[in-house]
């Protein structure tokens, strides 16, 4: 496919990209920017397009990946890890607020103690995951393999499940409790 043919086909398909960009961004100006950035990337990387494949799907993939990358840049978290930040979010969990404030105080204290009882190697990745970090981000920030991150979070969940068994609903199986800890 020649450059002229490629450019012509991209130009025809570009009209169908805007509605999809609107679905992703929910903003007309951002959608225009996303389509423009997608077309720029497509034209700069036309040598990577294989003739005979679906050009429209290739453009949609570029657009989706561009949107995700831009979103991740905007929402990137700071690399400062402070355990007080974890407990600030943890203590405001509305799931444990009851009419009797003393009961919720006991629950929160027991949860905080259970978390504090975890080894640092397990507590740090678990709390990072709890406040919203992705496995890959945790691995990068702690400079450990992603498999190690997943394993440490899994072990932390198991230890918390065991330590907080007293809060399991009557008749609940072990799987029900682990699901509650994972949420």
- What is the structure's pLDDT at 73? 80
Q: Which residue has the higher pLDDT, 88 or 47?
A: 47
Q: Tens of pLDDT along 121-154?
A: 999 999 888 888 899 999 999 999 999 999 999 9
Segment 67-117, tens digit of pLDDT: 988 888 877 754 445 555 555 555 455 555 555 555 567 777 888 888 888
Do 91 and 134 fall into the same domain? yes
Number of domains in the chain: 2
What pLDDT is stored for residue 78 in this prediction? 45
What is the predicted pLDDT for the residue at 79?
44
Which residue, 64, 74, 75, is CA-closest to 34? Answer: 64
> Do 132 and 86 sit in the same domain of this protein?
yes
- CATH number of the structural domain spanning residue 16: 1.10.1740.10
Domain closes at, from 51, 81, 111: 81
User: Which two structure tokens, joined as six digits, stand for 132?
Assistant: 């919203």
- Is the CB of residue 34 less than 8 Å from the CB of residue 25? yes
Last residue of a domain, one of 81, 108, 132: 81
What is the dihedral sign for C-alpha 111, 114, 116, 119? negative
The residue-averaged pLDDT of 52-61 equals 91
Q: Which of 38, 61, 81 is the last residue of a domain?
A: 81
* Prediction pTM value: 0.43
Per-residue confidence (pLDDT) for residue 143, from 0 to 100? 94
Residues 107 and 168 placed together within one structural domain of the fold: yes
């Amino acid at each position: 496919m020649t450059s002229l043919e490629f450019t012509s086909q991209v130009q025809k398909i570009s009209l169908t990209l805007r509605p999809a960009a609107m679905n992703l961004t929910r903003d007309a100006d951002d959608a225009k920017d996303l389509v423009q950035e997608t077309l720029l990337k497509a034209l700069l990387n036309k040598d990577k397009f294989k003739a005979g494949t679906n050009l429209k799907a290739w453009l949609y993939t570029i657009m989706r990946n561009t949107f995700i990358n831009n979103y991740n840049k905007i929402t990137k978290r700071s690399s400062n890890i402070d355990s007080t930040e974890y407990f600030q979010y943890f203590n405001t969990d509305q799931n444990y607020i009851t009419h009797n404030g003393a009961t919720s105080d006991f629950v929160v204290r027991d949860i905080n103690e259970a978390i504090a009882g975890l080894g640092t190697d397990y507590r740090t990745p678990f709390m990072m995951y709890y406040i919203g970090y992705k496995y890959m981000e945790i691995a990068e920030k702690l400079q450990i393999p992603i498999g190690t991150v997943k394993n440490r979070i899994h072990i932390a969940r198991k230890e918390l499940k065991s330590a907080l068994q007293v809060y399991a609903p009557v008749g609940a199986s072990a799987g029900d409790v682990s699901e509650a800890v994972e949420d």
